[in-house]
Amino acid sequence: MSRLIVVSNRVPPPADKGASAGGLAVALQAALRDRGGLWLGWSGETAATETESEQIKTRVEGNITFSLVDLTKRDQEEYYSGFANRALWPLLHYRLDLADFDRRDTTGYFRVNAFFARILAAQIQPDDVIWVQDYHLIPLAAELRARGITNKIGFFLHIPWPPADVFFAMPWHRRLLEAFTSYDLVGFQIDYDAENFVNCLVREGLGRETSRGTFKAGEREFKIGAFPIGIETAEFTSVAVEAEHNALVKRMAVSLNNRKLIIGVDRLDYSKGIDQRMLAYERFLENTPSAHGKVTYLQVTPKSRSDVPEYAEMQREIAETAGRINGAFSDIDWVPIRYINRTVKRTTLAGLFRMADIGLVTPLRDGMNLVAKEFVAAQKPEDPGVLVLSRFAGAARELDGAVLVNPYDMESTGGAIAGAIEMPLEERIARWRSMYDQLTRYDVNYWCESFLKALETQHNVPAFGSQNPQFRQAS
Ligand code: ADQ
């Protein structure tokens, strides 16, 4: 088997195989361990010098080499905070109103990608297979090709891809689209994203389909496919079972005092629709007086990207909404929303999911949303909670037992919460069973293997749309 090279914006700490590591990091490390390889990306640190060789720290763990690259302050501002998080992130989440297209940031983005390519090119061996992760690194393959690298290179986008007319609002859209054509395989979370992307290529005259899933751009042939990411299902379930003995989880159970628990867990990000979710919960409280004093909504939201102004503003708004709702509905012995602004350990999180009666996962737009999958994996088979899920999360394309909602429609999302609380046990079990089977079959290892197989072999990629059995949808 050829050696695997993974490139991602951030590289997890090499020794982190424990409870704090997410499923993705664990799965990629497992693939790297199987084949031997290299993981390259930003260290998260600021470079003390601009001497390239001094910016790279290499660590070897068994048969995996971790290459951690420091970035200068200017690189971080332009490439990461600027172009990646203020232009691409909002644009690809359909938020043109929040996108900031700055020429200097764009130059910085392409410059840092060229820098990563220079470092990587020096370490590539002829048979290596390269797998690039996410929107920070779109131009990497083009930069590697320009340096004469002919190895197989795949790209996976973890976030959504919008329709052409949204994407074309980006002034440098053509340059980015062209960059994609240097890959051998471009993977998206779900078929809708892949279809939007293909439409962008075709409308710009940059590619045409030659056979199912295979496209031709100039002289290059490459594949486009949908590979919905999974979680470490079995592992997460056993963590959730164990977590019933966790002290913090027990404290939570006592403090609930037999109230129903609704749980929301998200990074603080406008794509997650946290403010809208609180407003939907408010509608539920207004329309269901009998629920007062009988439900607790726990929202766990660690801060992220606080250096980006839109995030600081959003943080204030959500805290105000929570405060206002609590002010209006609280009683001396009941607070309707518990809003927590910090990270919770994975084990604790799993225990809280298991205890919850409703998982409220209502992003305005999300590539997949692993919280939805983790909530399902954590449930008790004999008494599972209900997943209330946004139709705009990629996960809605797979989790057919969820109660689907439109997060922009607070009235009906509030109604869905009321319905979920009343749902009979038999229906809860049937819905949960179907979702759990899906997650067992299509876990993160399946995702990893199916992507690499499509990249390395002549096989067709898994089909888009209804021909792919992995896609199902709740009604
Ligand atoms: P994210 O936007 O970060 O990921 P998500 O898929 O939900 O969103 O993954 C978040 C992870 O962080 C989950 O494993 C979750 O348990 C954990 N997490 C969230 N809040 C936490 C908290 N308060 N404390 C501790 N852990 C917390 C991006 C895309 C998604 C896509 C993933 C993977 O935006 O759409 O599903 O990548 O491809």
Q: How far is CA 116 from CA 4, 51, 53, 80, 468, in A?
A: 17, 14, 12, 13, 35
Euclidean distance between CA atoms 181 and 84, whole angstroms: 20
Total Cβ atoms within 10 A of residue 315: 17
Nearest atom (ligand 1) to Cα of 265: 20
- Residue 475 is predicted with a pLDDT of 56
- Amino acid code (one letter) for 293: G
Q: Give the mutation target among 135, 266, 370, 447 for probing the ligand 1 site: most ligand atoms within 8 A of CB.
A: 370
Q: What angle do CA 369, 372, 377 make, to 5 degrees?
A: 130
DSSP for 61-109 reads ETTEEEEEEEE-HHHIIIIIIIIIIIIIHHHHTT-GGG----HHHHHHH
Residue 52 has pLDDT above 80, yes or no: no
Least confident of 81-95, 199-213, 451-465: 451-465
pLDDT digits (tens, 9 = 90+) for 403-450: 999 999 999 999 999 999 999 999 999 999 999 999 999 999 999 999
Residue 121 has pLDDT above 50, yes or no: yes
> Ligand 1 mean position to 370 CA, how many Å?
6
- Residue 357 is predicted with a pLDDT of 98
Residue 159 has pLDDT above 60, yes or no: yes
Q: What tokens appear for 224 in the block? A: 């486009």
Name the nearest CA neighbour of 368 among 437, 275, 262, 443: 443
Nearest atom (ligand 1) to Cα of 160: 35
Name the nearest CA neighbour of 173 among 151, 147, 206: 206
Contact 413, 277 (CB under 8 A): yes
- Residue 51 is predicted with a pLDDT of 80
For 461, phi then psi, to 5°, come to -75, 160
Mean pLDDT of 66-89: 96
- Residue 465 is predicted with a pLDDT of 65
pLDDT digits (tens, 9 = 90+) for 356-402: 999 999 999 999 999 999 999 999 999 999 999 999 999 999 999 99
- Residue 459 is predicted with a pLDDT of 76
Catalytic residue among 75, 134, 136, 158: 158
Residue 290 has pLDDT above 70, yes or no: yes
Q: Give the mutation target among 267, 299, 353, 389 for probing the ligand 1 site: most ligand atoms within 8 A of CB.
A: 267
Q: How far is CA 73 from CA 49, 78, 139, 306, in A?
A: 10, 9, 21, 16
> Ligand 1 mean position to 24 CA, how many Å?
10
Residue 17 has pLDDT above 60, yes or no: no
pLDDT digits (tens, 9 = 90+) for 298-328: 999 988 777 777 788 899 999 999 999 999 9
- Residue 19 is predicted with a pLDDT of 45
Give me the percent of the chain exceeding a pLDDT of 70: 96
β-pair partners for 58: 67
* 366 a catalytic residue: yes
Confidence of residue 20 (pLDDT cuts 50, 70, 90): low
Output the ligand 1 site: residues, CB below 6 A. Answer: 22, 24, 158-159, 229, 265-267, 300, 302, 343-344, 349, 366-371, 374
Least confident of 15-19, 103-107, 131-135, 378-382: 15-19
Contact 121, 158 (CB under 8 A): no
Mean pLDDT of 463-474: 76
DSSP for 216-254 reads EETTEEEEEEE------HHHHHHHHHHGGG-HHHHHHHH
Nearest atom (ligand 1) to Cα of 371: 7
pLDDT digits (tens, 9 = 90+) for 182-224: 999 999 999 999 999 999 999 999 999 998 899 999 999 999 9
- Residue 334 is predicted with a pLDDT of 97
Residue 467 has pLDDT above 50, yes or no: yes
Name the nearest CA neighbour of 474 among 389, 385, 358, 376: 389
Query: For ligand 1, atom 33, which residue shows the shortest CA distance?
Result: 158
Nearest atom (ligand 1) to Cα of 189: 38
| H-type alpha helices, 402-443 | 410-422, 425-441
> Ligand 1 mean position to 414 CA, how many Å?
24
Name the nearest CA neighbour of 373 among 474, 266, 230: 230
Mean pLDDT of 57-82: 95
> Ligand 1 mean position to 219 CA, how many Å?
38
- Residue 21 is predicted with a pLDDT of 58
- Residue 469 is predicted with a pLDDT of 87
pLDDT digits (tens, 9 = 90+) for 214-272: 999 999 999 999 999 999 999 999 999 999 999 999 999 999 999 999 999 999 999 99
Residue 93 has pLDDT above 50, yes or no: yes
- Residue 318 is predicted with a pLDDT of 95
Euclidean distance between CA atoms 137 and 110, whole angstroms: 9
Q: What tokens appear for 265 in the block? A: 């867990």
Query: For ligand 1, atom 8, which residue shows the shortest CA distance?
Result: 369
Task: Specify the residue for token string 């700055």.
Answer: 102
Query: For ligand 1, atom 15, which residue shows the shortest CA distance?
Result: 371
Q: What tokens appear for 61 in the block? A: 């763990």
Which DSSP helix (H) or strand (E) runs through 133?
strand 129-133
Distance of CA 1 to the CA centre of its chain: 29
Euclidean distance between CA atoms 135 and 155, whole angstroms: 9
What is the Cβ-side half-sphere exposure of residue 57, based on CA atoms within 13 angstroms?
14
Least confident of 9-23, 65-79, 119-133, 233-247: 9-23
Nearest atom (ligand 1) to Cα of 370: 6
> Ligand 1 mean position to 308 CA, how many Å?
19
> Ligand 1 mean position to 96 CA, how many Å?
23
Q: Give the mutation target among 274, 371, 373 for probing the ligand 1 site: most ligand atoms within 8 A of CB.
A: 371
Residue 170 has pLDDT above 70, yes or no: yes
Q: How far is CA 353 from CA 22, 262, 265, 334, 438, in A?
A: 16, 9, 9, 21, 18
Q: Which residues of 166-198 are buried (b: 16+ CB within 10 A; e: fewer)?
A: bbeebeebeebbbbbbbbbbbbbbbbbbbbbbb
Q: Give the mutation target among 369, 374, 442 for probing the ligand 1 site: most ligand atoms within 8 A of CB.
A: 369
> Ligand 1 mean position to 368 CA, how many Å?
9
> Ligand 1 mean position to 274 CA, how many Å?
14
Nearest atom (ligand 1) to Cα of 301: 23
Confidence of residue 23 (pLDDT cuts 50, 70, 90): low
